[in-house]
A and B are shown apart, each in its own frame.
Chain A
Amino acid sequence: MRMFNGKTERSLQFLFRLSAAALSCAVSPIVSAQIDSAETLLSPNLGTIVEQQEIEALDLIASAESPLPVGSGSAFQGREIYANQCAACHGADGKGGAANQPLVGGNIQSADRPLRTVGSFWPHATTLFDFVRRAMPANAPKSLSDTEVYQVVAYVLYMNGLIDQYKIIDADSLAGIKMPNSDGFIDMSAQ
């Protein structure tokens, strides 16, 4: 469905009239308002049609609707990757480390200012896969394989006590994990 099919000639005439008006006199506020109208937004339709498999490498979104890739891993397998790729900033125990970016611990209900970590705060486990794959480690984003991402995601969930170290994390099992604070958010866009 193209919005402007069949309307090309009329729209172009309108544009020419507009140009002539702009040349012959100073642009009045009324003409300025017309410049934003749909009539002048004639699309040249230059987009190239692509198939999903062509753009798969660029489409990094992993969510309930955007499928996670094939692969799997356990915390047991992820321990070494975490130690090599993550611990320097997040700490060997995931409690903050040099970058003070804790992944583990905290309690959103604590009387003091609650620590917001993956375990205490993140509402969706798929977000962990999505974020690690697109943005981590900070000094070399996108350097981990999908399998390594699954493994390190499993390790972070394991450190939070959400799974045991031999649980196999894949697209299905990750989506099935209910995070402790999953009911803790109010969607303000729906208010």
Chain B
Amino acid sequence: MTIDKLETAEESVAGNGLLSRRLLLGLGISGTAAALSPNLLAAEASRFNIPSWSKQPGPGPSAYGQPSPFVADIQRDPGRANPLYPGGGASRTPLHALRGTLTPNGLHFERHHAGVPAIDPAEHKLIINGLVDRALAFSYDDLLRYPMVSRIQFLECSGNSGALFGATPPQGTAQSINGLVSCAEWTGIPLSVLLNEAGIDPTARWLSCVGADAASMGRSIPLDKALDDVLVALFQNGEPLRPEQGFPLRLFVPGWEGNVSVKWLTQLKLAREPSQFRDETSKYTDTLADRKSLQFSFPMGVKSIITSPSGKMQLQPGLYQIEGLAWSGAGRIAKVEVSADGGASWAPAHIDAQSGDKSLARFRVPWRYSGAPAQLISRATDSEGKLQPTRDALLAEVGSLAFYHFNAQQCWAVDNKGEVSNAYV
């Protein structure tokens, strides 16, 4: 197939180079490969010598596999330690460098408020008390004998993308701007099983959840949610939780702001009212323009981000796959649309099979970068029919004092030199 034939197969579906997603489904051949002429192949024949690693045995099996050293730069970005905030801070998932929808355990984002505790599971206890028929204590070994279920679901910090509330567009990568979201298969005990064993007092309405870290992180969640789909998770992507994800056990609260999925879980206390912890009053609340503040705004809104092309990338004119991730705390992703002209026209993106309810979905759509400036935006619609808002619409709703729950459409601008930067439209 020649490059000419490939181009005639392209079908424009929206402005500024967006192509039919049928192209990407029907053609397994890239423009670059098709363009290689026989003369060029002959000139580069030396590229096809037998490589050195095919001529000697490599190292044998290892105890725990590590990524290739050639991709060792795919890392979280923990930043510098702050001596006045020991162990505090966050590291973000390198979204721009990953494919698929599952986040490797070592690259799942982190947010800690007093560092990662070094918990000996033999010494760890989970206590259920408060408005129960009987207060109970469980050991890690106890909990390993309970029935567990597995769910592939996203976790997003409510502060993810919060810099996009700012007056000027922050410059960075998909990782640095949007990397506080990850997705894993979480395996654990339905919380309802443990709460029912303790016996729920009929007056109980809220559940206070506390971690065993130095901050003793506490959050309150309504008991209805706790009994619906919350897990006490012990495994992530098939292996015991990593210490930074809550080993030996954490709460996993599907679709809700990450902070309520309390890590290193050690206490569950049933009560009539929330405990009004620091992290549900002073923090994780958004102040509106009228100076009222939103509290217990748990679900993460419908959202999508383009992971490639994305900030700091450098493009050459030619065919690209616009790729990204979409998710919603309300359920599944029904539709993702992509614009290359700042929202003037939209093309439907192909959604790869989404694992299920509240999991990440990956979308892609082919796009020919002509070399002229482009503004790439994605917008998702979830199974509740909710459309991801524009930034202007979100700001009109919550005002410019907000910091958490930023789920608006984000724009990557490509200039005529092929440089990609974050932009407001």
Contacts and interface: CB of A to CB of B under 8 A. Distances in A.
B216 A48 contact: no
Contacts of A46: 138, 142-143, 145-146
A98 to B, nearest CB: 6
B84 A98 contact: yes
Interface stretch (B40-48, B102-110, B264-272): B264-272
B86 A47 contact: no
Interface in B251-277: 266-267, 269, 271-277
B197 interface: yes
Nearest to B144: A46
A188 B275 contact: no
A60 to B, nearest CB: 6
Interface residue range, chain B = 35 or more
A131 B287 CA distance: 21
Contacts of A61: 208, 210, 218, 267, 269, 275
Given A58-B267, A188-B296, A189-B296, A47 B214 contact: no
A9 interface: no
A41 interface: yes
B370 interface: no
A40 B113 CA distance: 37
B146 A127 contact: no
Given A113-B401, A141-B214, A141-B215, A49 B113 contact: no
B216 A134 contact: yes
B196 A50 contact: no
Contacts of B88: 138
Given A3-B196, A52-B135, A61-B218, A99 B277 contact: no
Nearest to A112: B401
Contact of A127 (B125, B193, B281): B281
Given A47-B142, A186-B293, A127 B127 contact: no
Interface stretch (A19-27, A75-83, A117-125, A147-155): A117-125
B72 to A, nearest CB: 33
B268 to A, nearest CB: 11
B15 interface: no
Contacts of A28: none
Interface stretch (A63-71, A157-165, A166-174): A63-71
B171 interface: no
B417 interface: no
A115 B292 CA distance: 14
Most central of A42, A109, A134, A184 by chain B CB within 10 Å: A134
A189 B193 CA distance: 23
A115 to B, nearest CB: 11
Interface string B182-226: 000000001001101111000000001010001110100010000
B129 A55 contact: yes
B135 A55 contact: yes
Residue from A2, A109, A131 with most neighbouring chain B CB atoms (10 Å): A131
B281 A123 contact: yes
B85 interface: yes
Interface string B283-312: 001010001111111100000000000000
A1 B199 contact: yes
A109 B208 CA distance: 31
Nearest to A185: B295
Nearest to A3: B196
Contacts of B86: 138-139
A118 B210 CA distance: 22
A132 to B, nearest CB: 9
B44 to A, nearest CB: 46
9 contacts: A49-B134, A50-B137, A59-B267, A108-B287, A127-B276, A138-B88, A142-B214, A184-B292, A185-B285
Given A46-B142, A141-B216, A185-B295, 7 more contacts: A35-B149, A46-B145, A61-B269, A63-B208, A141-B215, A185-B285, A187-B296
Interface of A: 1-3, 35-36, 40-52, 55, 58-61, 63-66, 88-89, 98-99, 108-109, 113-114, 116, 118, 121-124, 126-127, 130-131, 134-135, 138-139, 141-142, 181, 184-190
